[in-house]
Amino acid sequence: ALVVVGDNKGSVGIGVGRARQVPDAIRKGADRARRNMKQVPLTGTTIPHEITVRYSAAKV
C-alpha cells in the first residue's frame, strides 16, 4: 500500500507497506511515511509551482 501523510504545516511523508492483509500493509506504510517526512515550501496553504497553459493561440 502506498501511503502519503502530512501535518498541514508543510511536512509530507511517503511510505510503502507490504503485507498479506491490507490493514497491515496500510499501517506499515503509514509508519514508514511518518519516519520519512520532508519539508515542502508553502505559500499560505498552496504549494507554489510554475505552470504554462495554452488555449487556442494564447499561451499563459
Q: Where are the domains of the chain?
A: 2-59
Q: What is the pLDDT of residues 17-48, one digit of tens each?
A: 999 999 999 999 999 999 999 998 888 888 88
**pLDDT value, residue 17:** 96
Q: What is the pLDDT of residues 46-55, one digit of tens each?
A: 888 888 888 8
Would you say domain 2-59 falls under CATH 3.40.50.1820?
Answer: no
**pLDDT value, residue 34:** 95
Please state whether 56 falls in left (phi above 0), alpha (psi between -120 and 50) or beta. left
Q: CB atoms < 10 A from the CB of 17, how many? A: 19
- pTM metric for this prediction: 0.70
